[in-house]
Amino acid sequence: MLKNRIKDIAKEIKEEAIATRRHLHQHPELSFEEFETAAYVESRLRAIGIDKIEKKATTGLVGLIEGKNPSYKTIALRADMDALPITEENDVPYKSKKPGIMHACGHDVHTSSLLGTAHILHRLKNEFEGTVKLIFQPGEEKAPGGASFMIKDKCLENPKPSAIIGQHVMPHIPAGKVGFRPGMYMASADEIYITVKGKGGHGAMPETLIDPVLIASHLIVALQQVVSRNASPKVPSVLSFGKVIANGATNVIPNEVKIEGTFRTLDEAWRKRAKELIHQIATGIAEGMGGKAEVNILHGYPYLKNDPELTERSILAAKEYLGEENVLDLDLWMAAEDFSYYTQEMAGCFYRLGTRNEAKGIVSGVHTPTFDIEEDALEVSTGLMAWLALEELKK
């Protein structure tokens, strides 16, 4: 049985996948700076025996595994390679060797997993029809997203896949389990930058000033009505401000205040309207208080929608591979992912890989300095993705 052969190979290469993940974890690179990572991935692909490799978007790679009758059908599998500007606090042998940079979102897992999947599929290439396209992309963590550059550089052409599948670590799910959600899954993400300008001076003479700190305070409070009084309760929306800089002193009012935040939702029409409201409210309040607000909203990733039919097929395949008890239903997730760019182009399925192990204390969330994974999950991640790809090629 092909499924059992996949499981056997996944078990056989588990230690290799762990070693690969640890190497990547020790040598993280920031978004769009993944030169060493890309070179390492290419060397691993060639060692596997995959020689049809193209460089895309400077630090991205695309590899092809051709089975029998390669033109029959193509399925794409995707991994991201970049790390985050976080100083690792884990005391482990494979701790990051680069101060201030860490694979705190699991992209080392995604990359090593896809290399393992590639190993499995290459071993089985005489037993399936069609082509598997391997996409290793840069810059998922940084707008406008490496996926957008990969698509512009024609990573989805020659051959064009009929569908794309991706996975992401999930520290809330125990290792050995995975999660899926058909349809709308993840939010769009826009970055908000507001500069409030006034007239600074001595804090003891407020009558001579136009206080940008006071204006900024009013803005932050007033902008909450964008969601609370304008969004439909049926449409998930989040407007948060995480950075405010008023570089004055106890008795010094600065000339300007900078505010930074994020807006996320799952509806493109409302997304457009909300950004208009943010601009109108911010500029209107600032002008009404005698100041000025400059609003710059960086258009980020679109929402992520899992193709219902592809995802339902993948759920059934995952249950067959892992057992029904190990395949979970996911809720909406207001984080964003540039995998969404691919789902704008074709049918896509983005699922979650459980990496939690409470007994070992592996419980930290992504984007934290103590994030780590239960490495046994790599046996699941490599084998399951290979199985999903081959099952989809058969459809």
φ/ψ of residue 141, rounded to 5: -85, -5
Alpha-carbon gap, residue 202 to 248, rounded angstroms: 10
Amino acid residing at 339: F
Catalytic entry in 82, 108, 211, 375:
82
Catalytic entry in 140, 267, 372, 375:
140
140 is catalytic: yes
Alpha-carbon gap, residue 106 to 365, rounded angstroms: 10
With a CB cutoff of 8 Å and minimum separation 6, the contacts of 303 are: 184, 186, 187, 188, 265, 266, 267, 268, 271, 340
What is the pairing mode between strands 131-137 and 74-80?
parallel
36 is catalytic: no
Give the 3-state secondary structure of the chain.
Answer: CHHHHHHHHHHHCHHHHHHHHHHHHHCCCCCCCCHHHHHHHHHHHHHHCCCCEEEECCCEEEEEEECECHHHCEEEEEEECCCECCCCCCCCCCCCCCCCCECCCCHHHHHHHHHHHHHHHHHCHHHCECEEEEEEECCCCCCCCHHHHHHHCCCCCCCCCCEEEEEEEEEEEECCCEEECCEEEECCCEEEEEEEECECEECCCHHHCECHHHHHHHHHHHCCHHHHCCCCCCCCEEEEEEEEECCCECCEECCEEEEEEEEEECCHHHHHHHHHHHHHHHHHHHHHCCCEEEEEEECCCCCEEECHHHHHHHHHHHHHHHCHHHEEECCCECCCCCHHHHHCCCEEEEEEEEEEEHHHCECCCCCCCCCCCCCCHHHHHHHHHHHHHHHHHHC
Alpha-carbon distances of 244 from 190, 192, 266, 362, rounded to whole Å: 17, 12, 26, 33
φ/ψ of residue 102, rounded to 5: -150, 145
Q: Which residues are catalytic?
A: 82, 140
